[in-house]
Amino acid sequence: MATRPVTKQSALSTLEHLRAEIEQRNPAQPEFHQAVHEVLETLAPVLEARPEYAEPGLVERLCEPERQIIFRVPWTDDHGHVRVNRGFRVEFNSALGPYKGGLRFHPTVNLGVIKFLGFEQVFKNALTGLGIGGGKGGSDFDPHGRSDAEVMRFCQSFMTELQRHIGEHTDVPAGDIGVGGREIGYLFGQYRRITNRWEAGVLTGKGPLWGGSLIRPEATGYGNVLFAAAMLRRRRGEDLEGQTAVVSGSGNVAIYTIEKLTALGANPVTCSDSSGYVIDDKGIDVELLKQVKEVERGRVDLYAERRGASARFVPGGRVWDVPADLALPSATQNELDADAAATLIRNGVKAVSEGANMPTTPEAVDALRQAGVAFGPGKAANAGGVAVSALEMAQNHARTTWTAARVEEELSGIMNAIHTTCDETAERYGAPGDYVTGANIAGFERVADAMLAQGVI
């Protein structure tokens, strides 16, 4: 059956109606609304150019998760008190492969946050070209300040329910905020205990001695820096050598962003956590930061105290006030607002690349794009983590382990291919240099084509 032509105006009207419907059907989920709006506002030229996408309610299906799972997680603390948290897994889209996406343990986790993360993951995973669908999960449990025994008991209870819904050919979780190697180990152990299967491919981010991939902990941060470097070359003809960078956060993504920036000759001068931020004129000492955050689980003021005269701790405040050539938000969603963007622009920032998921507000994104700042959206710039997770799945399937050099080479190739895809797609749709438009449309086309091929399901 021939498809009917779609005008730009009718596409805009359809997408605006859909946006209003999604907000009505999903009340009190502002992060999800924001993520959906950011994609929908770029799709009108695609529907006009390819009217087949408008026919079978395809965009509507893409914005509705295939499955949403919410469950109770009871556990006992070290004092014998029973605690109850809420667990989530949103399996958003499996047109390209098994659901793939991390687990987040943080007090701010709710259904809307998990849906926003899962929706973003669909496009991010599509951009990798690695045959993985999109999903996300987590809990409002806060591992900060909990003993290893408490974290273990929580993870075991969480996995007791989650194991019903996952599998290497169905849904493959990984880590995210609050879920690192310790948590993945406890989760995998409980899965193995319940199922009596050594199914290494059911979780990624595992330890390298029991099925994990080398470079997986580093992958999101490394990949973001590689994407930023590609943007800088393409848009300004410069490399990272000698560039000053501000990085927010001090978790896994921030640490390895700092490490890769340093390796490529840039000077990352900040890190932060909820207590404030550190500015280090000599550049962040990544080994000291790892000791403070990964081993001692301390605050960044301890880094400044040990670092000496070159570093100072600023309670509260924001790293975006520090003049820099590059900004890499690597903490959490909506941390870089319009006021911060204006400050970065005044200070001459050249590029902003998102290491976290949706860390830049829509108003800030608009300001940066209008000012001509190269902007790398998270669904493209921070895809390195899930890309290496998919490479971990491949290694698990073959029961082999690749060298660090091979994994890093694969990662570099994937990130450069993502950059090229976003750049060329934006150009093709009349928005040269607009990586937001390029990433949204390229990811959408890959998922949409698979959905069309598989029928209305």
The fold of the 67-198 domain, in CATH, is Rossmann fold (3.40.50)
- DSSP H or E segment with residue 246: strand 244-247
* CA angle (371 as vertex; 366, 376 as ends), nearest 5: 60
Does the annotation flag 100 for ligand binding? yes
Through-space distance between the first and last CA atoms of the chain, rounded to whole angstroms: 19
Q: How high is the pLDDT of residue 158?
A: 99
Q: How high is the pLDDT of residue 56?
A: 80
Q: Which of 320, 262, 322 is nearest to 287 (CA)?
A: 262
Pairing type for strands 244-247 and 267-268 reads: parallel
**Which residue out of 115, 136, 206, 379 is catalytically annotated?**
136
Span 75-104, pLDDT tens digits: 999 999 999 999 999 999 999 999 999 999
- List the helix and strand counts (H, then E) for the chain: 17, 13
d(CA 414, CA 408): 10
Span 3-38, pLDDT tens digits: 678 898 999 999 999 999 999 999 999 999 999 999
Question: Residue 2 pLDDT > 60, yes or no?
Answer: no
Domains 67-198 and 219-381 share a fold: yes
Confidence of residue 194 (pLDDT cuts 50, 70, 90): very high
Q: Where are the domains of the chain?
A: 8-62, 67-198, 219-381
Does the annotation flag 124 for ligand binding? yes
Span 47-66, pLDDT tens digits: 999 999 998 899 999 999 99
d(CA 263, CA 274): 27
Span 410-456, pLDDT tens digits: 999 999 999 999 999 999 999 999 999 999 999 999 999 999 999 99
Question: Residue 323 pLDDT > 80, yes or no?
Answer: yes
Question: What is the CATH number assigned to the segment(s) 219-381?
Answer: 3.40.50.720
Does the annotation flag 220 for ligand binding? yes
Q: Is 136 a catalytic residue?
A: yes
* CA angle (370 as vertex; 365, 373 as ends), nearest 5: 75
Span 236-249, pLDDT tens digits: 999 999 999 999 99
d(CA 391, CA 385): 10
Q: How high is the pLDDT of residue 55?
A: 81
Q: How high is the pLDDT of residue 1?
A: 46
Percent of the chain with pLDDT over 70: 99
Which own/partner contact pairs does 397-403 have at CB distance under 8 Å and 24+ positions apart?
397/168, 397/201, 399/200, 401/208, 401/213, 401/214, 402/213, 402/214, 403/214
